[in-house]
Structure 1
Amino acid sequence: MGVVSRGRVILLNGVSSSGKSTVGRALQQVLPDPWFLFPVDALGSMRSIEQTAAQSESEIEATLRRTCMGYHRAVAGLVSVGNHVIMDYPLSEPWRLRDLLDVLDGYDVTLVEVHCDAAELDRRERARGDRPLGLAASQVVCAHEDRDISVDTTDTPPDACAHAIAESLPGLGVSKAFDRLRASSREPAPIGYTPDR
Structure 2
Amino acid sequence: MPANAIILTGPSGVGKSTIGRRLQQVLPGPWLLYEVDQCSPPIPPGSLTEQQIVAANIGAARAWADTGIPVIVEIALLGEEDLQIARSGLHGHHVFVVVLDCTRIVLEAHLAARGVAGPPPSHALPFYQRTAGRWPTGADLQLCVDGLTPDQAAARIAQAALPSGGTTSSARP
**If the TM-score is normalised by the length of the shorter chain, which range does it land in?**
0.7 to 0.9
- 159-168 or 16-25, larger mean C-alpha shift: 159-168
Q: How far off its partner does 1:29 sit?
A: 0.8
Q: How far off its partner does 1:101 sit?
A: 2.7
Specify every segment of 5 or more residues in structure 1 that has no aligned partner in the other structure, as ranges: 1-6, 173-197
8 A Cα contact 2:34 2:72, kept in partner? yes
Q: What letter corresponds to residue 31 of structure 1 in structure 2?
A: L
8 A Cα contact 1:43 1:67, kept in partner? no
Q: How far off its partner does 1:165 sit?
A: 1.5
8 A Cα contact 1:122 1:134, kept in partner? no
Q: Provide the TM-score with structure 2 as the length reference.
A: 0.77
8 A Cα contact 2:6 2:161, kept in partner? no
User: Which residue of the partner structure matches residue 176 of structure 1?
Assistant: none
Q: What letter corresponds to residue 116 of structure 2 in structure 1?
A: G
Q: 1:16 aligns to what SS in structure 2?
A: coil
Larger RCO (CA under 8 A, 6+ residues apart): 2
1:86 aligns with 2:78: no
Q: Provide the TM-score with structure 1 as the length reference.
A: 0.68
Identity %, equivalent residues? 27
Q: What letter corresponds to residue 81 of structure 1 in structure 2?
A: T
8 A Cα contact 2:10 2:135, kept in partner? no
User: Which residue of the partner structure matches residue 39 of structure 1?
Assistant: 35
* Residue among 99, 110, 119 paired with 1:124: 110
Distance in 1, matches of 2:137 and 2:52, equals 26
CA RMSD of aligned residues (A): 2.5
- 153-162 or 66-75, larger mean C-alpha shift: 66-75
Which one has a larger percent helix, Structure 1 or Structure 2? 1
**CA 1:90 to 1:76, structure 2 compared with 1: closer, same or farther past 3 Å?**
same
- The CA deviation string for residues 154-186 of structure 1, in whole angstroms up to 9 with x for no partner, is 2110011111122223438xxxxxxxxxxxxxx
Q: 1:147 aligns to what SS in structure 2?
A: coil
